[in-house]
Amino acid sequence: MLNTHTAFRKSPIDLDLIEFAGLAHDLGHPPFGHNGERALDDCMKPYGGFEGNAQTLRILACVEKKVLKEDGPQDICGISTEGKDLRLGLNLTYCSLAAILKYDKKIPKERKSTSKLVKGYYASEEGLVQDVKKNVGNAPNRTEPFKTIECQIMDIADDIAYSTYDLEDSMKGGFTHPLEIADRMSDKELVSLLTQKVIPEVPDVTQEEVFNSIVDMMLPIDNEDPLLTYRQSKLVAMDGRMRTEFSSEMVGLCIRGVSVEVHSPQLLRFAKLKVEREVKIRIESLKHLNYLLTIMSPRLKVVEYRGYEVVETLFKTLSEKHELLPDDVQAMLRRLKNKRDRMRVVCDFVAGMTDRYAVEFYSRLKASGASIFKPL
């Protein structure tokens, strides 16, 4: 749809890059999502921090065992005997890496224990980011953050998917249904809190706009029969086909509110993606409502607590007991001279775990679950 803009007729937006960015951008998510992210960041604050987007860049450009620099030893370790990291990850193009570079900010090498999570890239990848900018170019206004049109499209697609499909998952899991969500919006305190969450993206938004954006989505058809309305709402939540249609309709409404603004034909890669105000309010309201009603619900609070504990325990144990790590990771740690680099490698290993593997590893450490003889 965006490629129909006259500016892109001769040089269209690269769909392959967008597809790549969409597939790759979540690679850096650790076990247990944002709870695991918070746990790893707390553990890594003295050593450069942790953040999902920064980890994605690191995986693609370093961690993934695909290519090594030709001037070093071609062994499985990837670290020279002098402690130099020779890994090139997937050895991707600069344009590919630019498509997943969401936050143009270096995460400080050290932060206080009370500091909040910082979105950006690690100091270890600072040189790579500078190379990306040098080869891809810069936005017309040098004061603006670096963000290509492909990255912007990936970003808004992620927001739309997050806001709609999390709702679909919560209905499938039996947490809620459309009519119940509309009813929850009668809670003025909830609407006020939700509005505060939306304000950073839409500064002049009102509580009435936030209220209407949710209720209009949950009750698209006026029905004078309350019982029939309730039945339809429950059916949308329980029936897979109707649930999918419900989500698809919301996705379509959001997509139709996205357009592109070209300031310079010579800098199409930095064209600005525009989202209609009403659509932006809808996306942000629904995204934060899902978080407040589902992720922060008592049913998932236990998962949040245990997820943080599992990831924190794994990191602290493995950072002290290197012999518990796989042989190739141990070899890397022996060759690295700097503690910051060694801790980053341990962090890479823990961050690469799935939820199930992390729980299994944790249970084996605590002698409460799977066989201790199962290979790592």
* 324 and 211 housed in the same domain: no
Tell me which residue of 44, 22, 26, 29 sits closest to 122, measured CA to CA. Answer: 44
The 3-class secondary structure across the chain, one letter per residue, is CHHHCHHHCCCCCCHHHHHHHHHHCCCCCCCCHHHHHHHHHHHHHHHCCCCHHHHHHHHHHHHCCCCECCCCCCCCCCECCCCCECECCCCCCHHHHHCCCCCCCECCCCCCCCCCCCCCECHHHHHHHHHHHHHHCCCCCCCCCCCCHHHHHHHHHHHHHHHHHHHHHHHHCCCCCHHHHHHHCCCHHHHHHHHHHHCCCCCCCCHHHHHHHHHHHHCCCCCCCHHHHHHHHHHHHHCHHHHHHHHHHHHHHHHCCEEEECCCHHHHHHCEEEECHHHHHHHHHHHHHHHHHHHCCHHHHHHHHHHHHHHHHHHHHHHHCHHHCCHHHHHHHHHCCCHHHHHHHHHHHHHCCCHHHHHHHHHHHCCCCCCCCCCC
Domain interval for residue 317: 2-145+301-365
- Say which amino acid occupies 154: M
218 and 104: one domain?
no
| 91 and 226 share one domain | no
For residue 303, what pLDDT band results from cuts at 50, 70 and 90? Answer: low
81 and 36 assigned to the same domain: yes
> How far is it, in rounded angstroms, from Cα 82 to Cα 86?
11
The residue among 298, 321, 353 that closes a domain is 298
Instruction: Confirm whether 335 is domain-assigned.
Output: yes
In this structure, the answer to whether residues 16 and 77 fall within a common structural domain is yes
In the block, residue with structure tokens 């991707």 = 92
Q: What is the pLDDT of residues 84-122, one digit of tens each?
A: 899 999 999 999 999 999 999 999 999 999 999 999 999
Nearest by Cα to 154 from 94, 97, 213? 97
Would you say residue 371 lies in a domain? no
pLDDT tens string 279-294: 999 999 998 988 787 6
130 and 7, same structural domain? yes
Residue 107 lies in a domain: yes
Compute the average pLDDT of residues 44-72: 91
* pLDDT greater at residue 224 or residue 343: 343
User: Among the three residues 298, 315, 333, which one is the final residue of a domain in this structure?
Assistant: 298
Q: Are residues 118 and 41 in the same domain?
A: yes
Query: In this predicted structure, what is the pLDDT of residue 300?
Result: 60
Question: Do 253 and 122 share a domain, yes or no?
Answer: no
Do residue 282 and residue 309 come from a single domain?
no
The last residue of one of the domains, among 270, 298, 326, is 298
pLDDT tens-place string over residues 143-166: 778 999 999 999 999 999 988 888
Place of tokens 């245990």: 306
Number of structural domains in the chain: 2
Q: Are residues 324 and 251 in the same domain?
A: no
What is the rounded average pLDDT of the residues 199-204? 95
266 and 218 housed in the same domain: yes
163 and 141 within one domain: no
Distance CA 286, CA 39 (A): 26
Contact 65, 79 (CB under 8 A): no
